[in-house]
Amino acid sequence: MTKNLNDLPTDVLLIIFHLCAPRRLRRDCPPLWSVLPLLGGHVGPDFPTYCVRSERPSSRFPENLVSVCRLWREILATVSSFWRRLVIWVGQDPTPHQKIIKYLEYSRDEPLDIFLLRRYDPRMEDDTEAAQVKAAMDILTPCIKRWRSFIASLLHSGSLPRPAFDLTGRADLLQALHLDFIHDDEAALPEVTADMVQPFETPALKRLSMGGLHFRESYVELFPLTPLPPDLAELTLREYDTPLPSFPLVDLLRCIVPCTKLEQLTLANMQLTTSYDGPPLLDPQAATLWNAHVHFFDMGGFVIASLSRLLSRPFFECISYTRCFFPAMPLRSMPGGEFVYMEGLASWIDVVQIVAGQVDLLSGSRLHVTDCDGFGQGVLDVLGTPFLSVATMGGLWAYAQLKSLVLEDCKAFSSADVRRLVQTRREAHASTGFAEVQQPDFEVTSITRLEVRGCCPLADEDDEWFERNPLDDGLLWSDS
């Protein structure tokens, strides 16, 4: 009669262990990664929000099981597919080197998803991290041909391995490379010489995230010797600030535009220079092949406007602005977007700069605004009034095609301001016989979907107006 779990036959224990594995690991797929904050859930007061999303393993399998007893370790070691995911910790209580070597042996020839992570530690300085990372990389790099993903989330940018310098060789299986950090501790890198650079071939790479300084040194400065992978779909670059050397936007884009399969480009706090006044890098016909969604965090308006000009792209399918800032600059210089997302814009001038760019046939149909103190009555009036009279310009409306408006946690307007916007646009639309954009009499569309959450209460008189004039695609209003 069985007395405890270890008395079960080995094949039964293997079935149990198999059921403990993450679902995708059981289905012979890449491991299931959840989006969690760095450093075990700790987000410091100065930790930028675009840094807190990083892929981490959602389960400690199989390491949590091998630590139970010797028998379980011996059984688990016989199944190489259990060891495709390798989690290595640095900082306090780092993963022992012998354990890394042993787990690599267990994985045999399986493709590897490697996580190089820092344990929670409130310190913002650690002079041992770089040495710990180098020691781990000395063990991992010889099997780079088996890497399927490499996700590093460390404290110091200087601790990260750099492509073409520390990461070299051919990694045919590598699909995701994330080199993330909290503290950018490098003012500049040593001058690069020919003997320092070695090929780093990643033909299958689809997702790349790294700091601006390392990207400049590994890809931009070496372009076209080290081009970006042809199938790259997502690129995230962040933290290039003073006192780093000048980084021209045009140099960055020359490196990126050959990636015609790019689906998402994220730039976060990249202080780039825009002195180049030459012709665009793409002609209008070629620009239609470059369909990336663009996301800006803590970026300046001149860089954004220049990026749009150099790409010959006055219109993107999706464009988002988070905590961006717009100095005095010509209106209508911002690119348009079918879907525009704004978050954390404090000044109404910043919001108006974006809204004013969505004019005529270059306007999109969806606008989502979150936590923007600058989005108030004045902006709603801009959206609800043509820039020029109908007699002189045929009615030039900001966001002429706007149909879906979502407002979250914005406090600088009342329900009467929102209702007036919806009412004036509907009346203007009705005056043209509800003309659509393709028709010659078109001026502006009606807003057909409205969501207002956590902004202000819906006054009775405004509620009554919406009941008399229901929106085609629905109204949701919650003041909490």
Taking a C-beta distance cutoff of 8 angstroms, is the pair 389, 380 a contact?
no
For 76-97, write each residue's pLDDT tens digit: 776 777 788 888 999 888 999 9
pLDDT recorded at residue 331 = 60
For 28-70, write each residue's pLDDT tens digit: 433 322 222 332 333 333 334 444 334 455 556 676 666 667 7
Cα atoms in the Cβ-side hemisphere of radius 13 Å centred on 408: 9
- Please check the confidence at residue 450 and state whether its pLDDT lies above 80: yes
- Please check the confidence at residue 196 and state whether its pLDDT lies above 80: no
Q: For residue 193, name the pLDDT band (cuts at 50, 70, 90).
A: low
With a CB cutoff of 8 Å and minimum separation 6, the contacts of 305 are: 329, 333, 334, 335
Helix axes 301-310, 249-256, angle to 10 degrees: 40
Angstrom CA distances, 266 to 3, 176, 234, 251, 305, stand at 57, 15, 8, 16, 15
Q: For residue 171, name the pLDDT band (cuts at 50, 70, 90).
A: very high
Q: For residue 330, name the pLDDT band (cuts at 50, 70, 90).
A: low
103-107, 323-327, 446-450 — most confident range: 446-450
Q: 């892929």: which residue's tokens?
A: 55
C-alpha to C-alpha distance for 397 and 402, rounded to whole angstroms: 10
pTM, full prediction:
0.85
- Please check the confidence at residue 476 and state whether its pLDDT lies above 90: yes
C-alpha to C-alpha distance for 262 and 473, rounded to whole angstroms: 32
pLDDT recorded at residue 35 = 25
92-96, 189-193, 308-312, 464-468 — most confident range: 464-468
pLDDT recorded at residue 53 = 39
The string of DSSP codes covering 272-341 is -B----S--SS-HHHHTT---EEEEES-BHHHHHHHHHHTT-SEEEEEEEES-B--S--TT-SPEEEEEE
The proportion of the chain whose per-residue pLDDT surpasses 70, expressed as a percent, equals: 77
Q: Average pLDDT, stretch 460-478?
A: 95
Q: Which of 366 and 66 is assigned the larger pLDDT?
A: 366
pLDDT recorded at residue 101 = 92
pLDDT recorded at residue 135 = 96
Q: What share of the chain is helix, strand, coil (3-state, %, to 5)?
A: 30, 25, 45
Spatial CA neighbour of 340 closest among 326, 329, 327, 351: 351
For 270-326, write each residue's pLDDT tens digit: 999 999 999 998 877 665 656 778 999 999 999 999 998 898 877 788 899 999 988
Q: Which residues pair with 121 in a beta bridge?
A: none
For 218-269, write each residue's pLDDT tens digit: 999 888 878 899 899 999 999 998 788 899 999 999 999 899 899 999 999 9
C-alpha to C-alpha distance for 84 and 115, rounded to whole angstroms: 11
Q: Which of 143 and 328 is assigned the larger pLDDT?
A: 143
Helix (H, G, I), strand (E, B) or coil at 468: helix
- Please check the confidence at residue 186 and state whether its pLDDT lies above 50: yes
Q: Average pLDDT, stretch 418-425?
A: 95
